Structure formats: structure tokens, C-alpha cells
Amino acid sequence: MVFLLPGFTDDHIDESAGSIWFYCRCLGSNSYPGFCVVSVCCLQNNSMIRILICFFGILMAPALSAESRSMSDKLMQVKSFTADNGLHVIFHHRDDSDTFTAQLVVNLGLQDFSCKDRQAPHLLEHMLLEGTTRFDRKTLRQRIRNLGGKTKAYTREESTYYTISLHSDYPDIALDTLHSVISEPRFNKQDFITSKQIIHAEQGSNSNSTSPFGKPIPVLTEMAKAQLFKGTELYCDNLSSPDHLRLDYIKALYRDHYVASNMTLIVIGHFDEQAILELIGSRFMALPMLPEPKHNPIPRWQPDYATINARNALFNPEANLHLYLPGVGSTDPLADYYEIIAEYFSEQLYYEVRGAKGLGYTPRAHLDNTTRYGYIEATTKTTSRWLPEAQQSFVDLYQQLQKKGIPEKDVERIKAKLVLEFESKQRDHDELASIYRRNRFQIRETGKMPDFVANIKQVNAGKLNQVIATRFPPNPLIATHVRPSLYLTVLQFVLISMVVTAMIWPLLRRLRKRNQS
């Protein structure tokens, strides 16, 4: 920042002031930009008026620096500590917010289980939200809803997390409820049965393992992720059923993994810091001190890029097209490079597939990553008629990306765009919590958030295009969800007709005999 007092120009900063200017910059001109220039002015003029103006400039420097500081810098100023029982706490105070959000992250996810037991952490998540020893299901829900809040929970590759958001006047209710959810389970049989049924409803499967139609087929995105992460526990050919899991097993899982040393508590919003620390201390820091459970190392995986073709409903004209590429986790040094690549590819898909050809509705691409896993997904909705042409456009644009890379001017433009987008997104607590969750291990180790803005500005086109050339496969993974072909439609119609005929034929014969008699 350059700041000159009235009546001064760049000519007033001559060589005689060079040493003072350099010294002030070393002190940190980003923090006190006014101090450096005013110091130069003082060197040039020794009058009392100038000296007074200098002191005024020094006093105003913090205010000037606050305006010049990046919005992301303000929003990323988190505080972090590890309690005596091993609980990691991240909290971020926001004066301009009227919402309070508390999220508890447990380092237990899908990667910790074989395909057979894949639904175990998911089942445990649902059971904990079915009610506690203090609050039944209805009370647990209404306690937050009645205060204009919401409760959410997810089980992902590396973690399970529970989030409660409500008005900032009630942080004690949020923390008390969250504490009850994860520390006061009731584990009754009816909740166990209900939770299994909920998982089946989410998957579109059923609880009949002897179904004549065979095993349920995973949803398209899960099938694609399985092929991308082939070689890890995330690779499963079919949906995992929770039916064989026993309540004792779920209780043991909770006992071993839901310990303070395996958790991170994230607190965001407008709150009294001292009061919040007291609440955390009286509840979460009172959890028993137990050793952190061991996690198996994640092996290197070899993606399978074979095309996936899933069938849609028989008479549904809509088709879904997906293109998948391997990515990196949020803690990987190249994460920002993949973010720019996904953004550029998204733009090209929109301009070509929708803008130039009108083949799809909102084609886009994005980077989806956790701490250590990541992938780029490009997708669009289209129709069965236009699917082949849309798919070819996806592949052509990907091949162009591989051959030509991304022009330097576009790299710089997208970098600026992502910084502005990043600063805007941070006003949403869910987005903030997601960023803190993905970077929780780094925050725990260093005590601060990685500097996204600084990292994104360091990306250069040369290295980015090298990443594209060396890390991306010759052919991407394509997955489609479309209604059956005419041949399959006719075949299905014939089979259905045969089944219906076989069912009603005895009845028709009986009616015929009755009429003849």
C-alpha cells in the first residue's frame, strides 16, 4: 500500500530515505503500511507540524492496515488447542454473525472397514441421532428446530461428523445437545432396527438378502468412486448391507472410536469466548481420557477407467453423464492446482456443451476432496437422444486440456476468481466448517489455518500444465445413467409379458372351463 500525505509526491522519497524505507518494510509494511511512508516523510522534514503528522500516521496505521488486509485473512484467524483428554478444539469468533455452529468430527470413516462392514460407521451415526438417554427422538429434533436451527450428520471416507446450527443466542443449547448425542447413547433394539431401515431407504435397497433380483446396484457416483480408489477399502463392487451387523459390534465400535483423542470440535459464530470455553470444559473436556485408536495406513490405489453404463427407468428420457479424474486430498501441496484445473474445465464444458451446442443443462466440473482422498467430477444432465454427442464433447474437451494445457492468462484469471470466491464463501458457516474439517490435522499441528490466498497466488502455469501432462490418464472414467436401448426395452417388455402371461394363464383356463360348463 502506498500512502502519501497531502503535498507530498514520489519525489520526496529519495535515496537518503532508502535505508529507513527498507527497514520499515522489513518490519512488515502489510501490517503497518502507513507507518513506513510517514516515517519517510518525517526524515524529509523536521518541522513540528510534520512530526505531529507522523505520529498521527503511526496511530492510524492499524486502521489502515485493517482495511488493506485480505478478507480471507480475517476470516481464517482460527484459535486451536488440545485439551488434556486429547480433544482437539478449533473455534472462530465472528462478530458479524447471528448464527452459532458446532461441529464434532470423529476420525472414523468408510475407509476403516471392509466392503462387508462398510455400513458400520454409517449405522452408528444414525443410531446416535435416534435419541439419547436424556432426549428421545422427537425432543432431540425439536430442541434445535424450535430455535430456528438444524441438525446434520454425514459419514464420509475419513470421518463422521455431526453439526448443529442455531441462533447465536443459544450456544449452550447447541453444545449441550451435541454433547448428549455423542456421549449419551441409549443403544436400544428398536433404534437399531429403525437405523437399518433408514440406510436401506437412503440406498434404495431392501432388507431381503434372498431377493430374486440379486444384490442391489450402487448409485452411479459410488460405483465411479469405487473404481477411482481401486486397491483401497473404498473399492466395493456392490452396496454393502447393514443387515448382518449386530448391536454388540456397534457398541464396541462406539466404545473404541468415540473417544476425545479421536475427535475435533469446531465452533463458529458470534459468542462470548470465555463462556464458550467454560461450556466446552464442563462437557467435552470431561469426556474420559483414552488413547487414540490406530488407523490402518491408506495404500496407493490404481484407478480403473473402464466405462460404467447404468440403466435408468424404462420410460425416463433423462440421461446423466459423468466424467471422473483422480484428484488429491486437501492437504496435498498440489490441491490448489487441481482446484484451478477443475474450474477451467468447468468453464470449457459450459461454453461448449451448453453455450455452443445446447446439449446439456448446467454442465460443470468440481474438485471433491477430503483430507487424503480427492477426485474431479464433471457432469451434466441431458437426454438419451443427445447423450452420445454430449459424451463425445466431454472427451474432446478433456483431450484438448491434455494436449494444450491451460493458457497462462486463464490461470491468472482463475486464480483471482478463486480468491474472491473463497473470501465470499467464508460467510457461510457450513463452508467454513468444511474447510476447517479438511485442514484439522494441519491446524492441530501448527495452530493455524493454511494460507489459501498465498498458496493459490503461488500457482504457476508451467507447473500446473506439467501436473495435467503427467498425472492425468489418457482416457478418463466415463459413467452414464440412461434408459435402456430399444433392444433391451423390447427384451424387457417380452420378459414382462411372459411373466404376466404365466401368472394369468391358469386363471384364464379356469374361467374358460367354467364358461363351457
Query: What pLDDT does 41 receive?
Result: 43
What class is the 308-482 domain? Answer: alpha beta
Average pLDDT along the chain: 82
Distance CA 121, CA 115 (A): 12
Q: Enter the C-alpha cell of residue 452.
A: 489459501
Q: Enter the C-alpha cell of residue 269.
A: 459464530
Could you tell me the pTM of the whole model?
0.77
Lowest mean pLDDT among 94-108, 224-238, 395-409, 466-480: 224-238
Q: What is the mean pLDDT of residues 449-478?
A: 94
Q: Which of 66-75, 291-300, 346-355 has the highest mean pLDDT?
A: 346-355
pLDDT at 68 over 70: no
H or E element at residue 166: strand 160-167
Q: What is the mean pLDDT of residues 121-131?
A: 96
pLDDT tens-digit series, residues 291-310: 889 888 888 888 999 998 87
Distance CA 365, CA 376 (A): 7
The proportion of the chain whose per-residue pLDDT surpasses 70, expressed as a percent, equals 79
Q: What is the mean pLDDT of residues 60-76?
A: 53
444, HSE (Cβ side, Cα atoms, 13 Å): 18
Distance CA 230, CA 228 (A): 6
pLDDT at 460 over 70: yes
pLDDT tens-digit series, residues 247-292: 999 999 999 999 999 999 999 999 999 999 999 999 998 888 888 8
Cell 503497518, residue? 32
Q: What is the mean pLDDT of residues 92-103?
A: 91
Q: Which of 379, 381, 351 is nearest to 365 (CA)?
A: 379
Q: How confident is the model at residue 20 (pLDDT cuts 50, 70, 90)?
A: very low
* 3-state SS record for 448-471: CCCCHHHHHHCCCHHHHHHHHHHH
Query: What pLDDT does 204 receive?
Result: 72
**What DSSP letter does each residue of 218-230 carry, written as one string?**
PPHHHHHHHHHTB
Distance CA 460, CA 147 (A): 48
Q: How confident is the model at residue 135 (pLDDT cuts 50, 70, 90)?
A: very high
84 near 259, Cβ under 8 Å? no
pLDDT at 113 over 60: yes
Q: Which of 67, 4, 71 is nearest to 31 (CA)?
A: 67
Distance CA 476, CA 4 (A): 55
Q: How confident is the model at residue 481 (pLDDT cuts 50, 70, 90)?
A: confident
Q: How confident is the model at residue 165 (pLDDT cuts 50, 70, 90)?
A: very high
* Between residues 48 and 8, the one the model is more confident about: 48
Distance CA 40, CA 384 (A): 70
Four-point Cα dihedral 147, 193, 156, 294, nearest 10: 110
Q: Phi first, then psi: what are they for 30, rounded to 5°?
A: -70, -30
Query: What pLDDT does 316 receive?
Result: 60
Q: Which of 386, 333, 323, 338 is nearest to 358 (CA)?
A: 386
Domain 75-286 part of CATH 3.40.640.10: no
Q: How confident is the model at residue 160 (pLDDT cuts 50, 70, 90)?
A: very high
Q: How confident is the model at residue 30 (pLDDT cuts 50, 70, 90)?
A: very low
Q: How confident is the model at residue 424 (pLDDT cuts 50, 70, 90)?
A: confident
Q: How confident is the model at residue 416 (pLDDT cuts 50, 70, 90)?
A: very high
pLDDT tens-digit series, residues 201-228: 888 766 644 343 444 456 778 888 889 9
pLDDT at 375 over 50: yes
pLDDT tens-digit series, residues 378-392: 999 998 889 999 999
Q: Enter the C-alpha cell of residue 412.
A: 491468472
Cα distance between the two ends of the chain: 105
Q: How confident is the model at residue 494 (pLDDT cuts 50, 70, 90)?
A: low
pLDDT tens-digit series, residues 334-345: 999 999 999 999
200 near 193, Cβ under 8 Å? no
pLDDT at 51 over 90: no
Helices (H) and strands (E) in the chain, counts: 19, 11
* R_g over Cα of the chain: 30
Query: What pLDDT does 22 receive?
Result: 34
Distance CA 200, CA 66 (A): 52
Q: Where are the beta strands (DSSP E) in 45-87?
A: 79-82
> Per DSSP, what are the bridge partners of residue 232?
230
Q: How confident is the model at residue 61 (pLDDT cuts 50, 70, 90)?
A: very low
pLDDT at 69 over 50: no
